[in-house]
């Protein structure tokens, strides 16, 4: 669905609490709106309070990041590439929902604000 080749191994999946996500991704803000996280290692983190209907598509989004990382196509320190990675992951997630689940939902994020050198502002 993503167009990336399957890697030799899959990442570990760890289920974490909202408090863990709040600390890791939301600067200790609760409620934390982040439900999945991939930090360019071999672990995908998913929130343990995900509903059954959300588990699959959140996991798809994070697995796309895993495949992106292992593809070598992106500069992991570039704001512009980070923006491209997010947009691509949301496109695959939306496609998964439309094709595999028989629904239609478009996910998206506003473009990241990057300076002329590709760094996040």
Instruction: For each of the domains in the chain, give its residue range(s) and CATH number, in order of start.
Output: 12-100 (1.10.10)
**Cα torsion through 66, 30, 49, 79, rounded to 10:** -10
Across all residues in the chain, what is the average pLDDT? 87
- Confidence label for 117 from pLDDT (cuts 50, 70 and 90): low
User: How far, in Å, CA of 65 to CA of 56, rounded?
Assistant: 15
Within 10 A of 121 (CB to CB), how many other CB atoms are there?
A: 7
- Which tokens hold the place of 81? 């590439």
pTM over 0.85: no
Q: How do 43-47 and 36-38 pair as beta strands? A: antiparallel
User: How far, in Å, CA of 113 to CA of 105, rounded?
Assistant: 25
């Amino acid at each position: 669905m993503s167009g990336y080749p399957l890697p030799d191994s899959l990442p570990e999946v760890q289920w974490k609490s909202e408090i863990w996500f709040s600390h890791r991704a939301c600067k200790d803000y609760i409620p934390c709106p982040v439900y999945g996280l991939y930090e360019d290692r071999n672990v995908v983190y998913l929130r343990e309070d995900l509903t059954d209907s959300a588990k699959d598509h959140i996991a798809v989004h994070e697995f796309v990041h895993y495949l992106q990382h292992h593809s070598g196509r992106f500069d992991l320190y570039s704001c512009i590439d980070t923006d491209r990675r997010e947009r691509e992951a949301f496109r695959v997630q939306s496609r998964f929902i439309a094709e595999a689940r028989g629904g239609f939902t478009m996910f998206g994020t506003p473009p990241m604000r990057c300076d002329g050198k590709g760094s996040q502002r």
